[in-house]
Amino acid sequence: MCQLLGMNCNVPTDICFSFAGFQARGGATDVHSDGWGIAFFEGRGTRVFLEPLASCSSPLAGVVRSYPIHSENVIAHIRKATQGVVALENTHPFMRELWGRYWIFAHNGHLPDFAPELDGSFTPVGDTDSERAFCWLLQNLRQRFASRPPSQAQLFETLHQLTLEVGALGAFNFLLSNGDCLFAHCSTRLSYIIRQAPFAVAHLSDQDLSIDFSDVTTPDDRVAVIATVPLTDNEAWTTMPSGSLWLFEEGAPVTHRLTVTAPQPPDA
Amino acid sequence: MCQLLGMNCNVPTDICFSFAGFQARGGATDVHSDGWGIAFFEGRGTRVFLEPLASCSSPLAGVVRSYPIHSENVIAHIRKATQGVVALENTHPFMRELWGRYWIFAHNGHLPDFAPELDGSFTPVGDTDSERAFCWLLQNLRQRFASRPPSQAQLFETLHQLTLEVGALGAFNFLLSNGDCLFAHCSTRLSYIIRQAPFAVAHLSDQDLSIDFSDVTTPDDRVAVIATVPLTDNEAWTTMPSGSLWLFEEGAPVTHRLTVTAPQPPDA
C-alpha cells in the first residue's frame, strides 16, 4: 500500500512543512520506499516531480521540501509497490489532459480485478491498476460530457457514480484534481484538517519539526490538508468515513457523499 | 523566439554538460528569460521540469544541471515569449499521452495564423500557438491510425505531411519524442552533432567549461545533440537545411526529408 497527501487552499500556499513529514515516511519512518511524486497546480499549469526511489533519501525530494512552490492544489504520493514494477512510468501522481485542463491523480489501494475496456482515449503508459483506474475515470467523463466540461455539481455526481463502481472491486483511496478543486475518496483510510484563523503551532509526527502558522499566514487564509495518516501530533484531524467521496474547494470540504451502498437483503 | 535543445542516444546518457551551456542562454548569454523546461524519458516514463522564470538564475535549473538523470531522449526549451503570457501553462515542453506512450514537444517559431479545428481529443491548456500545433499533430495522428500505433516509417511519413501543412504558415522548428526516437524539424535554424568513438574534448560556447567525453563514455556509445545554435565552439556541428524533418534513433540521424515544396509556376 501507499500513502497520499493532498492540499487545497483559498490562496496559493507552499506545502514544505507537510511534505517534510510525508517525505520521511518514504523509507525513514515508514516503508513506502518504491517511489514518490508530487504535483503542483499553479493556475492552469502543473509541475510534477517524480522519482522511482525512496523519498527520504532523494536529493530531488530535498529540493521540493525546501523550495516553496505556491499552489492552490497539490497531490503527493509515496509508493510501496503492490502491482507494477518499480519504474518511473509506475510512479504516482499521473497526469492527463481533458477539456483543456490537466488532471492529476494518485491512488492508494489495490484493484487486482479491475480490467475495464478502454477505448484508447486515455491509455495507461505503465502497468499499475492505479493508472488504469485513472484512465477509465477520464474516459467515462469524456464519454458522458463529450467536449463540454460539466458543472462542478455534475462532475461530483458523475465521479460519485464511477467511484461506486470501481470502489466495489477493492481499496480505492484516491486524490484527483483539475486545478480548480480537489476530490478525495476514502475507501479505507484518509483524514483531513482545515487550518484557518486563529492559526496555531503545528508539530510533525514523523520528525521533530514545528511551525507557527500565525507567522506565515493572513487572517483570510484557509488550507485543507488531506493525508492517509495525520501528519501532526498536536492537531485534531477528521477521519473520513470509509466509503466517502469529498469535494474540497477554497480550502474547505464543500460536499461529501457515501460510496458504500447498504447491503442488499439476500433475495432482493 | 526561443531556443531548442534535444538529445537522442543509444545508451542512457546525462545531459548536464550541454544543459549548462543552454541554461546560460536563458537570461545570461542570451535573452530567452521567459521560462525554461526540460523533459527526460526514462524507459516509458517521463520527468518534466518546468519553470516560468529565467533559467540562468533558476535554482531548479541548477539542480537539473548538476543531477545526472540518464535518458535516451531529452527535449529542452528556453522561452522568449511571442504569443501567450509568461505562465507555467505556456512553458515548453508540453506533454500528452497517445497510444499508451507519452509524447513531448517543444517549438521555436511563430505561427500567428494557425487556428485549426480541434476535435477535443487534445486541447491546449495554455494559449500558445506551439501547444495548439502539438495538439493538432497528435489529433491527426490519432485520426489516421485510430488506436493502433503506426510503424516508425509510417509515423515519419505522416509527420512529414503534417509538418508541410503547418510549416507553410510560419516558423515551425520543433523537437518531438515518444521515448523511442526523436523527430526534429528545422524550419529556420537547427544544428546537430553526433558524438561517438573516438571521443574528444568539447568546450562550451556560452561559458568556459570543457569535458573530455573519452573519460565518461564507452566505445559503443553514440549521442546526437540537436540545438538551435551550436553549444560548443571546438566541434563541427551540422547545420540542417531550412525546411527539413529529421528522425534520430540510437544516437544517429536515420532519415530526413525536405518540408519545403518547390515554388509552383504562376499559372500551374
Greatest mean pLDDT among A70-84, B55-69, B115-129? B115-129
The residues near A189 (Cβ < 8 Å, ≥ 6 apart) are: A108, A173, A228, A229, A242
- Which domains does chain A carry? 3-258 (3.60.20.10)
Query: CB B97 to CB A123 under 8 A?
Result: yes
Q: Would the pLDDT of A143 be above 60?
A: yes
Q: Would the pLDDT of B262 be above 80?
A: no
Query: CB A124 to CB B100 under 8 A?
Result: yes
Q: Beta partners for B202?
A: B211
B63, B64, B88: best to mutate for the A interface, most A CBs within 10 A = B88
The H-or-E segment that residue B24 falls in is helix B16-24
The mean per-residue pLDDT over the stretch B82-108 comes to 94
Q: Which residue has the cell 492552469?
A: A44
Q: Give the residue numbers of A marked as catalytic.
A: 2
Number of other CB atoms surrounding residue B146 within 10 Å: 10
With an 8 Å Cβ cutoff, the interface of chain A facing chain B consists of 42-52, 59-60, 63, 67, 87-91, 95-102, 119-126, 142, 146-147
Confidence of residue B266 (pLDDT cuts 50, 70, 90): low
In angstroms, what separates the C-alpha of A131 from chain B's closest C-alpha?
11
Which position has the higher pLDDT, A24 or B154?
B154
With an 8 Å Cβ cutoff, the interface of chain B facing chain A consists of 42-52, 59-60, 63, 67, 87-91, 95-102, 119-126, 142, 146-147
Q: Does residue B66 sit in helix, strand or coil?
A: helix
What was the pLDDT predicted at B33?
A: 81
Query: CB B121 to CB A120 under 8 A?
Result: no
What was the pLDDT predicted at A262?
A: 53
Report CA-CA distances (Å) from A250 to A152, A168, A189, A236, B94: 13, 30, 23, 20, 28
B50 contact residues in A (CB cutoff 8 A)? 45, 47
